[in-house]
Structure 1
Amino acid sequence: MAFDAFRQRLGAIIGGFDAAQSHRRMRGFRASRAHVNTLIAASGETITARARWLVRNNGYAANAVDAFANHVVGDGIKPSSKISDATKKEELQKLWLAWTDEADAEGLTDFFGLQRRAAREVFLAGEVFLRIRSRRVEDGLTVPMQLQMLPSEMLPLDLTRQMPGSGSIRQGIEFDGIGRRVAYHFLRRHPGDLTDPGLVGETVRVPASEVIHILDPVEAGQLRGVSRFAAAIVKLFTLDLYDDAELERKKTAAMFAMFITSPAPETALEPADEDLEVEPGQVVRLDPGEDVSTPATPDSGSTYEPFQYRTLLQIAAALGVPYGYLTGDTAKGNFSNTRIALVDFRRRISAFQHSVMVYQLCRAVWTRWMDMAVLAGTIDLPSYAADRRQYLACDWLPTKWDWIDPAKDAAAEILQIEAGLKSRTQAIAERGYDAEQVDREIATERQREAELGLDFRRPGSPAQAAGKTGDEDQNAGNGANAKDRSEDEDDGEDREPRPAGDR
């Protein structure tokens, strides 16, 4: 404490950064110097619980999660093996596609559905775990392996202790003496699931080689994830309360009733046991001498929508989701502003796809899946142990972005290919497909069309010109030249002679 007081006095004398001063404007700004792991241990469970509550009960929060997951995964982040043998590559890709339908240990979705659920959990809870489940060959799976998804709550944040020797457990993760993750200590039952008859609080040790921990760390040394809602929870919740209050005020203001006061009857009325509840359009008769007064309910006026808009902009910035995706409101921006927001958002999504989803999830699953496929004899890859790195080489292709004007984007892409600024392989990969597979499909279609006498290619397109023989091209060219000559001869009197090079 003495040192902190000395440092504050020294800062006041030297000056420099206003952000570090303790003057009147910054007196209430007391930032914690605790590491992010300490903060997560103290508040992580509460933040995650509140984020889940908002997604279940707040439309903006639910919309933000869906928008993020849909853009990150789309139809799926798909692999394209780099095996040079085209036959082996096609066999491997077919085997992978067949296995994706069996990937989920719960049987609720396929591998690409697991990707989407993982993206949702990382956005909502900051992290998610996938446990690799090895299966028996007699289970009848294409490759004897499945994935079990475990939410963040299954790994207790308060499980921290020193292990015998040089190891330790920190926030449910076991480390060895040099800081490598060696195991995860999961709860056998979700702490909030009362329908599970499992033992409460009992943990099981799972080797780190069997667990895929997916998170997007924001600080160096961070062990567990933090919800993307952390910076937006307060404003989302209070804005929800504000909207509810406005709705109640409008409801109260809409109440219209008539009160009639008549002379005293011969027999006094019995006093009512309950408070009088007024409904819209109701006519209420009061006893003599009774009166009713209601407080004035002022209208929200012209400030309601601008205030709500600015608050939602802050929430969108905190969540990293464009305003239009958060609210579904497309009337607040023009085409240029919307496109700028989408470009920035999609750059963020692309960074998350490659640094988190591909690096942590897809590569780990692909590596384990390849090993299991070879060990189970499902596929034969010669010298796999010696050339394992070459066999594991793979490109992961996200779903292509959809723009507002796809015709212009396609035309621009064709111009880039023709100018040599990009290749067809790159263009096809950006659409989420494998170029070699697409070329094989096109060749197969061309062959089938030729056998049936069909041609669905656009007249004059490069694809159609490439499908003609040399004689056909020459005849077409001669026909075009003859037509040009005929046109020149028809109106030659009105044309000036052209240089020979223009003919």
Structure 2
Amino acid sequence: MKLKPVDLRPGFIDRAVAVFAPQAAARRMAARVAMANMQRAYEGAARGRLTEGWIATSSSADAEIAAAGRVLRDRMRDLVRNNPLAAQAVQVLVGNIVGTGIRPRAASGDKALDERVNALWREWSARCDAHGHTDFHGLATLAVREMIEGGEVFALRRLRRERREAGRIPFVIELREADHLDEAARPASREASVRQGIEYDASGRRVAYWLFDEHPGDAALGSAKLPRSQRVPADRVAHLYERQRVQSRGVPWGAPAMRALRDLGDWQAAELVRKKTEACLVGVVFGAEEAEQGVAPSVVDADNRVIEAFEPGLIAYARGAKDIRFNQPGSGTGIREWLQVQMHLIAAGFRVPYALMTGDLSQTNFSSSRVGLNEFRRMVEQLQWNTVIPMFCEPVWDWFVEGARLRGLIPVDARVPAEWAPPAFESVNPLQDAQADLLEVRAGFSTIAQQVARRGYDPEEVMAEWRRMAEQMDALGLVFDSDPRRVTKAGLHQADAPAPADTD
């Protein structure tokens, strides 16, 4: 067998490399991509034709919020102002998280001290708003609403103007929106760093916030004064926001549903215009033949007047009209189903049940609604105990206790923690739930105090009121079926019950 001589003419090898090298490189690249996809073992991480448009970044949460935070806040506020679904979703969340108020109760272990502190709290919390509009529970409601709608809110501890008045807690609370944070602020020293208006020390601990005294948006009211930011120490600020990643600031809760809300609103507006247009034009009178019509670029009526607007019941005449054709409105089937699917997506983006956001209970029954409410309430309790109480309620309580110490209203070395009682959820089946609570107490799974606190009341106050009422009933010789000392659960008289007092 003869071997063909190798062509060693000048340029032959270069031409061969130019032809075959790109093909070999492409094959190697395809093999590496296939091998990488097999190593990932996650379809969501695969790269190919079907995922070409999937753009994802590996930036930090703070970098993403810095780039998109302001736009998200502005758009979310616009939706809440003008979109009924967004407004209702925010109201449902605020109503369930705060309700009538998250109430504290002093728990130092010293009964006399606790009663003193609780009395001071009732007096101070009724007038703790720096602007004088509401009480502590109203501030908590507004703070949670700002967190949901704007992503975050700042509560500032400020001295009272009448701080020299004796017997008064010298602090009040002022709320400021996320827009008050000066994102362009610079650190005052080399040891500190400022990111998005929050100052950190060398160890990464928050030491101050750079906040505008006035809202930057007040310029729209004609104010010629430019807002200037001031450094506020971190121990005077309570920053309330939800942490979904390791992040320094929050984002509006409805961010996943913004596009869906906007698209649904645009679709509803377009559909309404289409229906109005179909209802306006009833019929058009045409000529018998195209040549006889002589239709001009504009439509005119019988008096040769140009028709520039449609109105209900309109019949338009073309030139040389000899025939009439009536409008055929399009079918509206499937609109309700499509709307429900879109609203389900929006409700999921806001993390609220569909029925609570829309008021549509046609597709629910007792069991399904209870299952959905249980999951929603579990999420609300998580937010109350993991976000609102530690990031807003506890700092305000600490400021209150510190103010009471400074004024000498309680001992300087007194440590007075608080037990918080969020509002109780409305029972779907009150009788069944009450029976379950009673069984838990009788079995020792919980105490009466815990059951009272779950309903948003102070167990000490309830017990004291119960004792006063029992003594008053005994003094008047009254026996009620609700008195377990005298009447059994079955409604029978207790054999060993003390005799009622003789009123004669």
Q: Output the TM-score relative to the length of structure 1.
A: 0.82
TM superposition shift of 1:288: 5.4
Partner of 2:34: 12
Partner of 1:490: none
* Equivalent residue in structure 1 for 2:385, among 345, 349, 354: 354
Structure 2 distance, partners of 1:476, 1:394, is 38
Structure 2 distance, partners of 1:149, 1:295, is 58
Structure 1 distance, partners of 2:47, 2:80, is 38
Structure 2 distance, partners of 1:417, 1:401, is 19
Structure 1 distance, partners of 2:336, 2:235, is 52
Deviations 1:71-108 (A, max 9, x none): 00111110111132323322221221121111111122
Partner of 1:442: 466
Structure 2 distance, partners of 1:208, 1:258, is 71
Distance 1:249 1:91, change over 3 A: same
Q: Decide whether the 8 Å contact of 1:60 with 1:327 is kept in 2.
A: yes
Partner of 1:421: 445
TM superposition shift of 1:453: 3.4
Task: Indicate yes or no: 2:124 matched with 1:99.
Answer: yes
* Equivalent residue in structure 1 for 2:484, among 462, 470, 489: 462
Q: Decide whether the 8 Å contact of 1:137 with 1:376 is kept in 2.
A: no
Partner of 1:485: none
Task: Indicate yes or no: 2:352 matched with 1:330.
Answer: no
Q: Decide whether the 8 Å contact of 1:186 with 1:203 is kept in 2.
A: yes
Structure 2 distance, partners of 1:56, 1:410, is 40
Structure 2 distance, partners of 1:38, 1:411, is 52
Distance 1:27 1:256, change over 3 A: closer
Within-5 A mapping of 1:219-238: 219-220=245-246, 222-238=247-263
Q: Decide whether the 8 Å contact of 1:131 with 1:210 is kept in 2.
A: yes
Kindly report the root-mean-square deviation, in angstroms, between the aligned alpha carbons of the 2 structures. Answer: 2.9
The letter for the 1-side match of 2:424 is K
Within-5 A mapping of 1:45-124: 45-124=70-149
Task: Indicate yes or no: 2:408 matched with 1:408.
Answer: no
Task: Indicate yes or no: 2:247 matched with 1:247.
Answer: no
The letter for the 2-side match of 1:152 is A
Structure 2 distance, partners of 1:239, 1:205, is 43
The letter for the 1-side match of 2:157 is I
* Equivalent residue in structure 1 for 2:171, among 131, 145, 148: 145
Structure 2 distance, partners of 1:243, 1:140, is 60
Distance 1:141 1:361, change over 3 A: farther
Structure 2 distance, partners of 1:216, 1:336, is 31
Structure 1 distance, partners of 2:167, 2:79, is 39
Structure 2 distance, partners of 1:18, 1:286, is 61
Q: Decide whether the 8 Å contact of 1:257 with 1:278 is kept in 2.
A: no
Range 421-430 or range 138-147, more displaced: 138-147
SS in 2 for 1:80: strand
Structure 2 distance, partners of 1:424, 1:283, is 76
TM superposition shift of 1:447: 1.8
Count of aligned residue pairs for this structure pair? 450
The letter for the 1-side match of 2:274 is R
Partner of 1:313: 344
Deviations 1:303-341 (A, max 9, x none): 211111111111111111111111111112111111111
Which runs of 5 or more structure 1 residues have no equivalent in the other structure? 1-5, 263-267, 478-503
SS in 2 for 1:79: strand
Partner of 2:237: 211
Q: Decide whether the 8 Å contact of 2:209 with 2:233 is kept in 1.
A: yes
SS in 1 for 2:495: helix
SS in 1 for 2:217: coil
Partner of 1:484: none
Deviations 1:182-236 (A, max 9, x none): 111112322222227363242111111111111111111x111111111110001
Partner of 1:365: 396
The letter for the 2-side match of 1:114 is L
Range 283-292 or range 422-431, more displaced: 283-292
Distance 1:261 1:121, change over 3 A: same
Task: Indicate yes or no: 2:484 matched with 1:453.
Answer: no
Which runs of 5 or more structure 2 residues have no equivalent in the other structure? 1-27, 288-300, 500-504
Within-5 A mapping of 1:158-237: 159=184, 161=186, 163-193=188-218, 194-195=220-221, 197=223, 199-220=225-246, 222-237=247-262
TM superposition shift of 1:291: 9.0
SS in 2 for 1:225: coil
Q: Decide whether the 8 Å contact of 2:285 with 2:324 is kept in 1.
A: no
Structure 2 distance, partners of 1:398, 1:7, is 59
Distance 1:474 1:436, change over 3 A: closer
The letter for the 1-side match of 2:55 is R
Q: Decide whether the 8 Å contact of 1:246 with 1:300 is kept in 2.
A: no
The letter for the 1-side match of 2:388 is M
Q: Decide whether the 8 Å contact of 1:252 with 1:297 is kept in 2.
A: no
Structure 1 distance, partners of 2:99, 2:443, is 30
Q: Decide whether the 8 Å contact of 1:8 with 1:22 is kept in 2.
A: no
Structure 2 distance, partners of 1:65, 1:475, is 52
Task: Indicate yes or no: 2:373 matched with 1:342.
Answer: yes
SS in 2 for 1:464: coil
Q: Decide whether the 8 Å contact of 1:156 with 1:171 is kept in 2.
A: yes
Deviations 1:255-286 (A, max 9, x none): 36467899xxxxx98854x6433322457777
